[in-house]
Structure 1
Amino acid sequence: MVTIPSSPGPEPHLHRRMAESFGVDPERYDRNRPPYPDAVIERIVAASPGTDFLDVGCGTGIEARQFLAAGRTVLGVEAGARMADFARATGIEVEVATFEAWEPTGRTFDAVVSGTAWHWVDPIAGAAKAARILRPGGLLAPFGHVYQLPPTVADALATAYRRAAPDSPINFNARPAGSILDAYRALYARAADGIREAGGFDEPELWRYDWERSYTRGELLDLVPTSGGLTSLPPDRVAEVLAAVGTAVDELGGTVTLAYATWGLTAIRTRTQP
């Protein structure tokens, strides 16, 4: 799940410290973050004019391994050294840098993809750089998961987190009027705006896939600490939050089913940048 500061008009790419905190425990992150639906991978592969993929913010290599399995060649760019090391150990070629600072050294690609990471990239500068390194007809495709906790579990998480981190910019209590699954459309709408402003692309196409996954108490308590906000807390504070979440799950019978949405957008490069 993407977690962003609750200030008006959030700009996650400005919060580099939070972005890089996900590398604190790459093994847990890779174990708990689910792979992307086959339909997402198939959609992106079908839209790309070729097989050379650049994966921005590749993390531990979850989506990179899926694209490799689909017959693509993948180079990852990852700001976190521990995440990059983990991905390399699974067979992914990775260069350590933020996308904005990364040097392509003349290389070009058929597709620039980004799995639950493009919100950490400046939406205009990132799109402009993607346009420069994509071959004509190349594909820019950021996408990502968001999940929705049952209300009582979400309330327990929000209350415990506010006690554990009263000064955090994260506000788990700040809920949208509707489903959080719907609210995360805003991240990809913002990315689409960045693509339009950068130029060099056809009109971006926004899309969504809905699915579910069930978790035991232990599985959920292993997943929750991979969310933004918790990744930078000291272990004793994380334990406080997880105790509250665990109690809420127990009250639901020890198993919960989370609704997931995978949001994404695709844009085709039409011309070189001015």
Structure 2
Amino acid sequence: MKANSRRDNKLAFNEVADVYDGARPGIPHRLVTFLVRIAGLAPGDQVLEVGAGSGQLTRPLRAAGLEVTALEPGDRLRALLARHTADAPGITVTGGFFEDCTAPDGSFAAVVSANAWQWIDPAVSYAKAAGLLRPGGHLALVWNFPIAADWALQRALNEALAGDYPDAVRDPDTHLPGIEARVGEGRAELAASGRFEEPWWQFSTDILTLTPDAYCDLLLSYTNAVVLDDAARADLFHRVRAALTAHGAGSVTMDNVLYAVIARKADQ
């Protein structure tokens, strides 16, 4: 996905670390297994995970047999990550921003990230990743984009939120085309760096079923809700619950669109 030009909120998730930990869906093991195969990774290979959060990608990477250095700048998220991976000797949890990573060049077989790469300045991200990769190493990036599977429900939610909370709107008519445009811009950004070969990429979809409370927690795990004050958050969630009740929705089934892109380091 194209880099976010508003990078001042990249630590906002740390303020709701417990909610983020419980609400954000993990990256499916089947997808990680597929990415490992595409990138030609082998058990014991060293990978650097950027913006590890509380371990949504970290744990399936380790389950695939990889040695993971998990980089997470948020202290609360990092504490949760360390707790979740305490019994996994192949994971090293560390703080700091990717821009400041001091590992020697060529240290990693892959640099990976889930839902975080857009927070890094592209003038830095691709060149630094290429430097940290061994020859033939890969950059592997994943994002997920959940939206209510019942489009009538999503439109009801949109109607309740659009006036005061437009960033919470997910338009079913433009959702996938909008994602495709954003990730296409991201691939163009990657190509413009000149540091990677033509990428492989794919979309897939998982299904999530959430209670109304879990759905509100998921909303809170995204920046547009994190940055609201307490009164605005309470109003947002009141409107969401009212829309769900009016729609007769005792749960929210969501299409969780997953986008993955992998690019091999270019020979220099």
**Fold shared per TM-score above 0.5:** yes
Check whether the contact 2:106–2:131 (CA below 8 A) recurs between aligned residues: no
1:131-179 CA distances to partner (integer Å, 9 max, x unpaired)? 11111111111111001132112332333426xxxxxxxx445x66833
1:200-241 CA distances to partner (integer Å, 9 max, x unpaired)? 322012211112212221221221111111112222221110
SS of match in other structure, 1:143: strand
The corresponding residue for 2:139 is 140
Matching of residue 263 in structure 1 with residue 259 in structure 2: yes
> Distance between the aligned counterparts of 2:23 and 2:172, measured in 1?
28
> Distance between the aligned counterparts of 1:181 and 1:73, measured in 2?
34
The corresponding residue for 1:194 is 189
249-258 or 127-136: bigger deviation? 249-258
State the one-letter code of the partner of 1:269: K
Change in CA separation of 1:19 and 1:158 when aligned onto 2, cut-off 3 Å:
farther
Runs of 4+ displaced beyond 6 Å = none
The corresponding residue for 1:110 is 109
Unaligned runs of 5+ in 2: 86-90, 149-153
The corresponding residue for 2:26 is 35
Alpha-carbon distance, 1:106 to partner: 4.5
Check whether the contact 1:140–1:269 (CA below 8 A) recurs between aligned residues: yes
Q: How many residues align?
A: 254
> Distance between the aligned counterparts of 1:37 and 1:153, measured in 2?
27
Query: Which residues of 2 match residues 175-254 of structure 1 at below 5 A?
Result: 178-253=173-248, 254=250
SS of match in other structure, 1:213: strand
The corresponding residue for 2:88 is none
Check whether the contact 1:127–1:194 (CA below 8 A) recurs between aligned residues: no
Alpha-carbon distance, 1:81 to partner: 2.1
TM-score (structure 2 length as normaliser): 0.86
Let me know the Cα RMSD of the aligned residues. Answer: 2.2
The corresponding residue for 2:156 is 152
SS of match in other structure, 1:159: coil
The corresponding residue for 1:23 is 14
> Distance between the aligned counterparts of 1:182 and 1:43, measured in 2?
24
> Distance between the aligned counterparts of 2:119 and 2:29, measured in 1?
24
Matching of residue 90 in structure 1 with residue 84 in structure 2: yes
Matching of residue 70 in structure 1 with residue 64 in structure 2: yes
SS of match in other structure, 2:224: coil
> Distance between the aligned counterparts of 1:110 and 1:216, measured in 2?
40
Identity of aligned residues (%): 27
Alpha-carbon distance, 1:110 to partner: 0.7
Alpha-carbon distance, 1:129 to partner: 1.0
SS of match in other structure, 1:59: coil
State the one-letter code of the partner of 2:217: D
Change in CA separation of 1:182 and 1:263 when aligned onto 2, cut-off 3 Å:
farther
Check whether the contact 2:106–2:134 (CA below 8 A) recurs between aligned residues: no
80-89 or 52-61: bigger deviation? 80-89
State the one-letter code of the partner of 2:251: T
TM-score (structure 1 length as normaliser): 0.84
Unaligned runs of 5+ in 1: 3-9, 163-170
98-107 or 55-64: bigger deviation? 98-107
The corresponding residue for 2:122 is 123
Alpha-carbon distance, 1:124 to partner: 4.2
State the one-letter code of the partner of 1:41: V
